[in-house]
Amino acid sequence: MLAREAEVTLLLKASYYPIIAIIGPRQAGKSTLAKKLFPQKPYCSLEDWDNRQFATDDPRRFLAQFHQGAILDEVQHCPALFSYLQTLVDQQQEKGLFILTGSQQFSLMANLTQSLAGRVGLIQLLPFTLTELQQGQYAPAEIEPLLFNGCYPPIYDKKIPSAYWMSDYVMTYLERDVRQLIHIQDLRVFHRFLQMCAARTGQLLNLSNLASDCGITHNTAKAWLSVLEASYLVFLLSPHHRNFNKRLVKTPKIYFYDTGLACFLAGIQSSEQLIAHPMRGSLFETWVVSELIKRRFNHGVMSDLYFWRDRQGHEVDILIEQGAELIPVEIKSGKTIASDYFDSLEYWSTLSQQSQITSWLIYAGNASQERSKAKVLSWSDIAQLDLALKNNGDTSSS
């Protein structure tokens, strides 16, 4: 069992709040993490029909079983529980009493904010980070196997070949979660929608184009995309608003949280194909952005990531908002640094008049180095970016 970066944050929040909610995609390790950190608490899965019916029909008696609290798994299935949990934790006044997990973001968050506001500490848990894989000695030496396999725990903990696991995961997701969230008459069309989203990872979202390619309406595409967001399969990265007298693109970019899933849906059959695949650049960008978001979630903070692009096509892949500063990050999937890799960073530095702020370049090569135009990080050293920003923030606040 690999140690998770979110463990420290979770235990800290459990010392402040009576309820902790761990949310994220299915099979990201939520239940495993809860059981590991709170082994003394009884575990109850609300995926089990008997438990779910008991909790729904008689929530007061259901919770009365757990005098010292419990781990309640997939709690979004029983919305009736939330108001009773509020009453119970208010009476007992204990910290870390109940640990809730859930895999449907929007429905769960609605219940948490309505019934348990101020009583719940939230952790968003995504698949493994590179650092977690490195510490467990599972990280590959090259980027291509990581992009292809993705970072879902069962691929590493249970050593299930990624092609098998992804196939089963998609079918389970389609048959169970999608049917619970929305009414879809033809699952084959939704599967096509998933594939079209995967082909667009790392690109500007064009809902009309996406809907047309899938043979569905614009409103249907919008609703289905919300389902993918709610299930932590995809996320939208917003453009930054600062325009510097430029006309800006206002459309978000779509990314998958896991590149292994995107590769599977895009029909990529081996890591070797990624060496020269047309999607290599977008998949590498997807991995970098999702890796940075995972690290923020693991530390219990919201994403401070944006991108910037004007109507002339000038773009900065990532802007990290740190106070009043905007830290530019360029992403390149090549393994050898070329001089034009720095063009966007130089343009941004001139435009923003923030030449004193360090620019960063993350690439698919193996050597991190200092350059006059930017700090260059190998993909395998990506954790150094957040460490540097944290140290800079600590220095600035002292």
pLDDT, one tens digit per residue, over 276-322 is 999 999 999 999 999 999 999 999 988 899 999 888 888 999 999 98
Residues 244 and 275 in one domain: yes
Say if residue 239 is in the same domain as residue 362: no
Same domain for 234 and 276? yes
- Domain assignment of residue 32, yes or no: yes
Q: Domain check: are 61 and 194 in the same one?
A: no
pLDDT band for position 362 (50/70/90)? very high
Mean pLDDT score of the chain = 90
The answer on 165 and 99 residing in a single domain is: no
Query: Are 102 and 158 members of one domain?
Result: no
Are both 17 and 111 inside the same structural domain?
yes
The rounded radius of gyration (Å) of the Cα atoms in the chain is 22
Q: Assess if residue 296 is contained within a domain.
A: no
CA distance 350 to 235: 30
State mean pLDDT over 379-385.
96
Q: Looking at residue 98, what is its pLDDT? A: 95
Task: Show which of 71, 97, 124 is a domain's final residue.
Answer: 124
The CATH number covering residue 189 comes to 1.10.10
**Tens digits of residue pLDDT in 12-45:** 999 999 999 999 999 999 999 999 999 999 999 9
**pLDDT tens sequence across 45-84:** 998 999 999 999 999 999 999 989 999 999 988 888 988 9
Q: What CATH number has the domain bearing residue 82?
A: 3.40.50.300
Q: What is the pLDDT of residues 104-141, one digit of tens each?
A: 766 677 777 777 878 899 999 999 999 999 999 999 99
Domain containing 146 equals: 130-287
Residues 104 and 161 in one domain: no
Two tokens, residue 113: 């904010």
Total-model pTM? 0.92
276-307 burial: b if 16+ Cβ within 10 Å, else e: ebebbebbbbbbbbbbbbbbbbbebeebbbbb
HSE on the CB side for 288, CA within 13 Å?
32
Please tell me whether residues 134 and 282 are part of one structural domain.
yes
**Residue at 317 is within a domain:** no
CA atoms of 200 and 223, how far apart (whole Å)? 17
pLDDT at res. 388: 86
Are 78 and 186 part of one and the same domain?
no
